[in-house]
Amino acid sequence: MTLQEEERADLARDLHDEIGPFLFAAGIDVAGIPALLQDGRSRDVIERADAAGESIAHVQGQIRSILGRLRPLSFGAISLPDAITNIVTFWRGRHPDIIFALKLTAEDDTLDEAVRATAGRVVQESIYNAVRHGHPARIDIGVSREGADLVVRVDDDGAGPGAAELTPGFGLIGMRERVQARAGTLVIAAGQRGLTVTARLPLGAGV
Ligand SMILES: Nc1ncnc2c1ncn2[C@@H]1O[C@H](COP(=O)(O)OP(=O)(O)OP(=O)(O)O)[C@@H](O)[C@H]1O
Ligand SMILES: [Mg+2]
Q: What is the domain partition of the chain in residue ranges?
A: 1-73, 76-207
Q: What 3-state DSSP class applies to 142?
A: strand
Residue nearest to atom 11 of ligand 1 (CA): 161
Residues near ligand 1 with C-beta < 6 Å? 16, 20, 129-130, 133-134, 156, 158, 160-161, 166-172, 195
Q: Report the range of poorest mean pLDDT among 2-16, 20-34, 111-125, 176-190.
A: 2-16
| pLDDT score at 86 | 84
| pLDDT score at 166 | 84
| Closest atom of ligand 1 relative to the 172 alpha carbon | 18
| pLDDT score at 18 | 85
| pLDDT score at 4 | 64
Closest ligand to residue 173's CA: 1
The beta strands (E) that lie in the chain are given as 99-104, 138-146, 149-156, 185-190, 195-202
Interatomic CA distance for residues 37 and 174, integer angstroms: 39
C-alpha 61 – ligand 2 centre gap (Å): 21
Of the chain, the percentage scoring pLDDT greater than 90 comes to 61
CATH node for 76-207: 3.30.565.10
Closest ligand to residue 195's CA: 1
C-alpha separations of 196 from 24, 58, 75, 127 in Å: 23, 28, 24, 11
| pLDDT score at 71 | 42
| Closest atom of ligand 1 relative to the 194 alpha carbon | 3
Does pTM surpass 0.75? no
C-alpha 171 – ligand 1 centre gap (Å): 7
C-alpha 134 – ligand 1 centre gap (Å): 9
Region 70-80: mean pLDDT is 63
Q: What is the separation of C-alpha 201 from the centre of its chain, rounded to a whole number of angstroms? A: 17
**Which of 133, 140, 170 has most ligand 1 atoms within 8 Å of its beta carbon, as the pocket-test mutant?**
133
Tens digits of per-residue pLDDT, 125-177? 999 999 999 999 999 999 999 999 999 999 999 998 876 778 889 899 999 99
Contact 199, 119 (CB under 8 A): yes
